Amino acid sequence: MRVVLDAFDAPRPLRIAARVIGWPFKVLGHEGDPLMPPVTRALSALGPAYIKFGQILSTRPDVVGEDLAAQLRVLQDKLPPFPAEEAKAAIERELERPADSLFSEFSEPVAAASIAQVHKARVAETGETVAVKVLRPGVERAFRKDIDAFYLAARSIEFLSPSSRRLRPMDVIRHFEGVVMGELDLRLEAASASQYASNTAQDAGFRIPEVHWFLSGKRVMALDWAEGVPMGDNAELDAAGVDRAELSERVLQLFLKHALRDGFFHADMHQGNLKVAADGDIIAIDFGIMGHIDEYTRRVYAEILYGFIRRDYQRVAEVHFEAGYVPPDRDKDEFARALRAVGEPIFGMDATRISMARLLAYLFEVTERFGMETRTELILLQRTMVVVEGVARSLNPRMNIWRGAQPVVEDYIKQSIGPRAVVHDLRETVKVLARFGPRLPGIVEDLLIAQSQMTEREPRRVWPGALLWSGLGAAAGAAIMALVVGLG
């Protein structure tokens, strides 16, 4: 913990709090693998939830330093595996058939992460090569222990630091718990992979392995084998002739496209979950954590990004207030100036000239000054943006984030904000209203009866046009339905 806090240049109060809160975990934890570097060893010994934290840090050498990021990259897919025989036994329990009858070949583990490990296998029936993912034994219990510890830490933080309550630590842990519980059911991951593949089928330079449903269950999942160079191996990418500058922009743009266009995105896009195929395509794997954002949130997010790209900080501030991200009693102009102090030092600069650690520290100050609370619905989006930007930087340290994001954001703005978007919204609204079409006569009749009763009880308080308004409501419904037919 001390090494991580040093890397972040954390203030003294935070170091003391971490030491006080962390002592129970030190006492209850185990020693871990002595061959690992200290931080990697500590996180892997603490449990799978802490490994997730280490995976995020591993994508940000600009924050924690090159050496520590390289050490933490082991946590992505090179953790100690469990024996292949245990994996075969789990497959037999889940699929109710011996693994040797399902697979003519079954390798030792080729990758091992916090929740599961992967084996390369050949399907006996078809001869296809697949990746078989098997959950670690006892991983549910290990995560439960970690989450309980997180709840204890969150309660302690709220008690010791009332000002931290705006960060809603308990809500954050509840959100994390929901994400983890979904990740521990590989049937849900298979469904996510299938939906993601459908959404992105037309995206050039990107593909998803196909799910083998008859070889998948709650604790086992099989997908097409993905052959490619790991995205974290720059030397091998260079040897393969890959244009890393182009690749870095494509990673960022694909993430933004999936988040804005589909509202459904890969929320664990570290280097261990990305490969580059021989033809240059990016292959994504591991779909246990996927993010969902609704249409309204997508528009807010796009407008904020677009405002930063155009350096229109006043509009960025207005969007924050309109969306309720900043309390209405705060000064909008002051917030716009604070945003300018965030955006101007990094606009147009390549990544080598930006101190992400200082930027994150200032952003935290801004959120505290303006009373901004944590938005749990945005946690996965914000977390993934940090990870993806880190992956892109690792491929091309001189990349310009804003220039890379601009074409995707501008295209989304054209599609979602303007006359075409208004027509789309009207059509969607009418579709909802149309579902109530068969019930409209009954609804109007009920309103007429209710208004008649009100007139008898309190004749002086009834608006004379109330009955007319009810009739107009039915007529408006018919007119809107006609509009939909015309727009269709």
Continuous segment of H or E residues that includes residue 53: helix 48-58
Q: Please enumerate in sequence order all residues whose Cβ is within 8 A of that of 125, keeping only pairs 6 or more positions apart, or say none.
A: 102
* Buried b / exposed e along 246-275 (16+ C-beta atoms within 10 A): ebbbbbbbbbbbbbbbbbbbbbbbbbbbbb
Distance CA 280, CA 407 (A): 21
Is residue 204 packed enough to be buried (19+ CB in 10 Å), middle (13-18) or exposed (0-12)? exposed
Residues of the chain by 3-state class (helix, strand, coil), percent to 5:
65, 10, 25
Determine contact, residues 226/209, Cβ cutoff 8 Å: yes
Task: State the catalytic residue, choosing from 185, 268, 281, 446.
Answer: 268
β-sheet bridge partners, residue 120: 131
Determine contact, residues 185/218, Cβ cutoff 8 Å: yes
Determine contact, residues 224/131, Cβ cutoff 8 Å: yes
Q: What is the DSSP string of 374-435?
A: P-GGGHHHHHHHHHHHHHHHHH-TT--HHHHHHHHHHHHHHHHSSHHHHHHHHHHHHHHHHH
Which phi and psi (to 5°) does residue 178 adopt? -65, -40
Strands 274-276 and 116-123: unpaired
Residue 290: CB atoms within 10 A of its CB come to 23
Distance CA 387, CA 377 (A): 17
- Of the candidates 281, 412, 408, 397, the one whose C-alpha atom is nearest the C-alpha of residue 350 is 397
Q: Please enumerate in sequence order all residues whose Cβ is within 8 A of that of 85, keeping only pairs 6 or more positions apart, or say none.
A: none
Give Rg (Cα) of the chain. Answer: 27
- Of the candidates 249, 240, 254, the one whose C-alpha atom is nearest the C-alpha of residue 283 is 254
Distance CA 199, CA 189 (A): 15
Determine contact, residues 237/229, Cβ cutoff 8 Å: yes
Q: Is 268 a catalytic residue?
A: yes
Distance CA 469, CA 444 (A): 10
The DSSP output letter for 184 is: T
Tell me the catalytic residues. Answer: 268
